[in-house]
Amino acid sequence: MKKYLFVLMLTLCSASSFAQTQSNSDSTYVATEQWEYKTIYIRNSHKFAKQGEVNFENPDKTLDKYGQQGWELVAVAPLIASNLSSGNAYTSYLYYTFKRRIFYNGK
């Protein structure tokens, strides 16, 4: 009886040790996951400008190109401007924020 109990305890300890090793490797991977970000500014004139670099004539084609490069749209936020003399407010820019996972060798 003692022999069976010893084998059972040894098996449980081994399984517990293996489970802890598995969960540690998963959490290590998540902790090292990194992203890079890109922001596109869209003027109220409906012309695109990526941080002052490019004037986009065809937004769908440009957004498709970003998707093919691995960029994922994660947020769109307005920049509200106001005319203090008239009290009017308007959206002067839209900010489109994209993210893309950074891959390292061996992962």
Q: What are the structure tokens assigned to 52, written together?
A: 């002052």
Q: Are residues 3 and 21 in the same domain?
A: yes
| More confident: 98 or 54 | 98
Residues 56 and 44 in one domain: yes
Please state, for a pLDDT cut of 70, what percent of the chain lies above it: 54
Same domain flag for 77 and 104: yes
Find, among 31, 33, 51, the residue nearest to 41 by Cα.
51
Same domain, 27 and 51: no
What pTM was computed for the model?
Answer: 0.53
Please write the tens of the pLDDT for every residue from 46-77. Answer: 455 555 444 556 778 888 989 999 999 999 88
Contact indicator for 41, 53 with CB cutoff of 8 Å = no
Write down the pLDDT at residue 5.
Answer: 55
In a shared domain, residues 45 and 18: no
50 & 90 share domain: yes
Q: What is the pLDDT of residue 38?
A: 92
pLDDT of 56 reads 54
Is 47 in the same domain as 75?
A: yes
Q: 9 lies in which domain range?
A: 1-32
Amino acid letter, 46: H
58 and 99 belong to one structural domain: yes
**Residues 52, 100 within the same domain:** yes
* pLDDT over 80 at 101, yes or no: yes
Same domain, 47 and 96: yes
| pLDDT tens sequence across 23-40 | 555 555 555 789 999 998
2 and 26 part of one domain: yes
Same domain as 103, residue 72 = yes
Q: What is the mean pLDDT of the chain?
A: 71
Which is more confident, 64 or 92? 64
Structurally, the chain folds into a number of domains equal to 2
